[in-house]
Amino acid sequence: MKIFLDSAHIEDVKKAYDMGAISGVTTNPSIISRENRKFDELLAEITSIITDGPVFAEVLALDAEGMIREGRALAAKSPNIVVKIPSIPEGLKAVKTLAAEGVTVCVTVIFSAAQALLAANAGASYVAPFVGRLDDIGENGLDLAAEIREIFDAQGIETKIVAASVRHPVHVTELAKMGVDVATMPFKVIMQMATNPNTARAVDGFLKDWEKVPKE
Ligand code: G3P
């Protein structure tokens, strides 16, 4: 399963990429707004770091024509841009047009398997179920990811599942076990995965013991 960073914070993009932890970056309007920088400049900087993987950027329009216009403009910025379109009826119209033109599209804010199926049929390359936000309302987000996986496998659908709104390392390992293609997550979750107090304690112990080894 591939790991993407769900952030537009340049320092975190660089750190996660240099660690070999990520092979793509996802953003949304809320993530962009946290950086207090012009969108075009920020996106250009991210695509200059992530040259060998996808960078997801979302449209803002809610009508198909507007989404198509924005989607074309985003896709023209860099060959590795994936255009995020919200899972609404007008969005599906935009997906059909953009996908036919060769634009790579992710249908996002998915909260049901039915939405994912329609997105795949419309031509989406990725679907993004929001795992954590389902947990937030007392449902099981992992169950949704598993249901989409089951349907796509049963139907031979090649659209990739990029699980979003991932909140902790157990989400990540469970998503990997069920064969989800990608999990996108905040930098904090990547660092939670990369660190373990037992490992730190063991490394510390090795260094302390090494001090007892005669040096001459
Ligand atoms: O990329 C969108 C999604 O990951 C949002 O996550 O934590 O705001 O629910 P969150």
Question: Which residue among the candidates 15, 38, 84, 188 is catalytic per the annotation?
Answer: 84
For residue 216, pLDDT beyond 90: no
The answer to whether the CB of 80 is under 6 A from ligand 1 is no
Question: Structure tokens of 48?
Answer: 């200059």
- What is the tens place of the pLDDT at every residue in 106-165? 999 999 999 999 999 999 999 999 999 999 999 999 999 999 999 999 999 999 999 999
The mean pLDDT value of the chain amounts to: 98
Q: How close is the Cα of 106 to the center of ligand 1, in Å?
A: 14
pLDDT tens by residue, 156-196? 999 999 999 999 999 999 999 999 999 999 999 999 999 99
| Nearest partner of 50 among 192, 145, 184, 163, judged by Cα | 184
CB 107 within 8 Å of CB 126: yes
Give me ligand 1 centre to Cα 38, in Å. Answer: 21
pTM of the model: 0.96
CB atoms within 10 A of CB 14: 14
C-alpha torsion sign, points 30, 32, 38, 44: negative
3-state SS, residue 9: coil
Distance of CA 204 from the midpoint of ligand 1 (Å) = 36
Closest to 5 in 3D by CA, of 190, 196, 134: 190
Residue with tokens 């199926």: 117
Closest approach atom of ligand 1 to CA 133: 9
- CA 59-60-65 angle, 5° bins: 75
215 noted as active-site residue: no
End-to-end CA distance of the chain: 48
Average pLDDT over residues 79-106: 98
